[in-house]
Amino acid sequence: MKHDDTIVALATPAGAGAIAIIRLSGVEAISIASEIFESVSGKELMKQNTHTVHLGHIKDRDRVIDEVLATLFKNPSSYTGEDVVELSCHGSNYIQQEIIQLCLRKGCRMAKAGEFTLRAFLNGKMDLSQAEAVADLIASDSAASHQLAIQQMRGGFSSEIKELREQLLNFASLIELELDFSEEDVEFANREEFQKLIKKITVVLKRLIDSFATGNVLKNGIPVAIVGEPNVGKSTLLNALLNEDRAIVSEIPGTTRDSIEDEITIGGINFRFIDTAGIRETEDLVEGLGIRKTFEKMEQAQVVVLLLDASIVKSEKFSVNGVNAEIEKIKNRFPQKQLVVIANKVDEISEEQIKNLQSTIVDLQLMSAKTGEGVDELKATLLDFINTGALRNNETIVTNTRHYDALLKALEEIYKVQEGIDSDLSGDLLAIDIRQALYHFGEITGEITNDDLLGNIFANFCIGV
């Protein structure tokens, strides 16, 4: 992968603001910046120290485009490890575009998605999992996803992998050394120590692989299906969850075309609420279709909230058996999913009716979304479903599908190594399995890589990162 050219891109979000930053990186970053930047003090940019800031004007020949600050980062003390210049200009769309166009005319190339971070990786400023964490960090929108990303960016995950890899590599070398002396029947690699290491690696890999279930939902938000009739108070509930927490609500397009998901942060963790219809038995064809859709949506959820309208106990249509049948149906169909049953609008019924409901429906939570009663309890219940212990204890949590796949493959190879040890496999065959495991470790941190893999990873970045 060639990177002897100089790239440029807008590094700040698109749009107008007080300040925008245009970043140049590469061998000619400083010389190109010098061509278009005229310092107010008259000093030459080329001769300034790294990590210094200079006031001046961006000029296209005689035409002044803006008054800017130019910040110098000299190779290797920069984000990319190359010479970097950051031009901090007034945040007008027009000025941003004019300066970028000018840089392009002076010999810069427009940066591709993630190319600054790719260069940082290629220049050894960070390993591959740290580079991937940069994109996660920028996308993070809750305390949990932020904590996971920053932990990974600071190398918590890869340092653990690297250490195991080094120890394993050491044994691989010793075992391969034995092969050179095979006629002398020596054992450089202490088999007991090796056995211990393989055990340790197995434990760590299993823990990391298990953590993915938690990591994945913490990063992407926990999908919660709310099952309930249209008038049951779903939006009041969502607003109640929202208002109390001053959380971020956004409407993100759902996985199905006709559904909109509400994203709410509770206790620093994102929950994605999927709206569904009820699932009571029906002979009606149209409602039957609705039920199939409801099941499809519940399939995507990790938690199912069955929201009942408590006020219907006053109506003749209400039947405790009907509700319990509905609960059973959900439990039978989705035994793995967490279920919360809530009776909303309890402010509209009497104490006795409440007691009656509680005695006939198991684990019923009471709520009045309108008055706020029971909202905190629901929050606590939702948070209980998540293994936040790992997060609190700052344990390494895997959030990336690519890492998860590599860890699974590494574990498979480690099992083979274990089998080899158990069956006294010859050193040369053992070495092959160890090398395979090492390969998958290396894929995570980027010691093993190729252009296709890097292309796939960085294509998901934004331009300017």
**Measured from the CB of residue 376, what is the shortest distance to a copy of itself in angstroms?**
23
**Measured from the CB of residue 90, what is the shortest distance to a copy of itself in angstroms?**
5
- CB of 66 or CB of 309, closer to a copy of itself: 66
**Measured from the CB of residue 302, what is the shortest distance to a copy of itself in angstroms?**
22
**Measured from the CB of residue 445, what is the shortest distance to a copy of itself in angstroms?**
19
Contacts with 292 (C-beta within 8 Å, 6 or more apart), sequence order: none
**Measured from the CB of residue 459, what is the shortest distance to a copy of itself in angstroms?**
16
Contacts with 296 (C-beta within 8 Å, 6 or more apart), sequence order: 256
- CB of 73 or CB of 171, closer to a copy of itself: 73
- CB of 39 or CB of 387, closer to a copy of itself: 39
What distances in angstroms separate CA 290 from CA 68, 232, 323, 405, one per listed residue? 59, 17, 18, 36
Binding footprint of a copy of itself on the chain (CB under 8 A) = 10-21, 23, 51-54, 64-67, 71, 73, 88, 90-95, 98, 116, 134, 137-143, 145-146, 150, 153-154, 248, 462, 464-465
**Measured from the CB of residue 146, what is the shortest distance to a copy of itself in angstroms?**
5
Contacts with 173 (C-beta within 8 Å, 6 or more apart), sequence order: none
- CB of 86 or CB of 326, closer to a copy of itself: 86
Nearest of 328, 369, 377 to residue 232 by alpha carbon? 369
- As a whole number of angstroms, the distance between CA 280 and CA 283 comes to 10
**Measured from the CB of residue 319, what is the shortest distance to a copy of itself in angstroms?**
46
- CB of 187 or CB of 244, closer to a copy of itself: 244
Query: Could you identify the residue written with the tokens 């959030």?
Result: 399
Helices 156-180 and 128-139: crossing angle, nearest 10°?
160
**Measured from the CB of residue 85, what is the shortest distance to a copy of itself in angstroms?**
12
- CB of 216 or CB of 265, closer to a copy of itself: 265
